[in-house]
Structure 1
Amino acid sequence: MYELNCAGIIPGCERVIRAESQAEVVRRAVVQARQLGFEKITPALLDSFREKTTELPN
């Protein structure tokens, strides 16, 4: 299981995103960013999502 707290990445986001894969966490973070008004998802933003995603212990 992977987790991303998007509060420090996407202004106005207080959501913690969890999914079975890092790719799914990033995909959900992109959806969340678009819902909060981000029209363009930059490579730097994607890198932030990947860097801040943590793997939870089993």
Structure 2
Amino acid sequence: MYELNCHGVIPGCERVIRADSQAEVMRRAVMQAKQLGVETITQRLMDAIRDGMHESARH
């Protein structure tokens, strides 16, 4: 399982996004950013999401 604590990565986000794959965490993070009003998903934001993501023990 992979997770991203999006606080400090996506403006206004206080969630921890979890999914079985890195691609799904990325997809959910992009959706969350858009819901929070981020109009343009920049390469810098994508890199920050990727850098903030880590593998976690499955609960």
Compute the TM-score of the two structures, normalised by the length of structure 1.
0.94
Q: How many residues align?
A: 58
1:2, distance to aligned residue in structure 2 (A): 0.1
Identity of aligned residues (%): 66
Match of 1:14 in 2: 14
* Structure 2 stretches lacking a partner, 5+ long: none
RMSD (Å) for aligned C-alpha atoms: 0.9
Match in the other structure for 1:25: 25
Distance 2:11 2:27 in 1: 17
TM-score, normalised via structure 2 length? 0.92
Distance in 1 (alpha carbons) for counterparts of 2:10 and 2:46:
11
- Give the Å deviation of 1:47: 0.7
